[in-house]
Amino acid sequence: MDPCLACLYWPTRPRPNRHELIAAALGQHQLRVLSHMVTGHAVNVPLPPDVLPIMRDIPTPSEAHLWSQRSLLDDVADTAGLDAAARERWHGCTIDQLYRDGICGGALVTTTLQGVPQEVVVPVAHQSALAGVLLAAQLLVASDPDLAPRRPESTEVRYDVLQGLPQVLARPRKVTTGCLCQDPDFQEVFGASEV
């Protein structure tokens, strides 16, 4: 049985929650980030003091009172070295938008937030898009009777966008233990041969 797509990305350890990911990327406390996520509060506006008690599962740090005096954007922008004009771009944005465009899209890390140089971060956003295009191309090729036989036998191909060619692209790959493609219920519904 060949590995499925989920086999390639099956987690081998617990993954952080989204608010934990964003908090780590922005260098902010989890409770502050979670408060923004839950309320949809814009990042350029300090949090109202009565928002925090909603999150009882996370201990409130001693500096929490500062979150209602200064905006999260100001703190992140100070760390990133953004001037007032650069901060204005994020006015009215949610924490998700700040994370997606600022960190994932590389807009905030054009300076050196967390010491991540621009040339490392920016290609990663493109890398993700490129992977999607290649995956869609494989689907089209596989569904064409003339092109399908030309597909390589290897299930997994990896290309490091930060390195030039030549690279070893094809990788041997087995089914990942514990993946959903080995689940009897999954197989019964979708059919093992189509996985």
Residues engaged in binding Zn ion (CB under 5 A)? 4, 6-7, 179, 181
SS3 assignment, position 186: helix
Query: Least Å distance between CB 191 and Zn ion?
Result: 14
Query: Least Å distance between CB 31 and Zn ion?
Result: 36
Question: 161 and 126 in contact (C-beta within 8 Å)?
Answer: yes
Nearer to Zn ion by Cβ, of 8 and 104: the residue is 8
Report which secondary-structure segment, H or E, holds 139. Answer: helix 118-142
Cα(46)–Cα(64) distance, integer angstroms: 11
Task: Give, in degrees to the nearest 5, the angle at Cα 34 between 32 and 39.
Answer: 100
Query: Least Å distance between CB 181 and Zn ion?
Result: 3
Nearer to Zn ion by Cβ, of 7 and 108: the residue is 7
Nearer to Zn ion by Cβ, of 26 and 181: the residue is 181
Query: Least Å distance between CB 179 and Zn ion?
Result: 3
Nearer to Zn ion by Cβ, of 7 and 22: the residue is 7
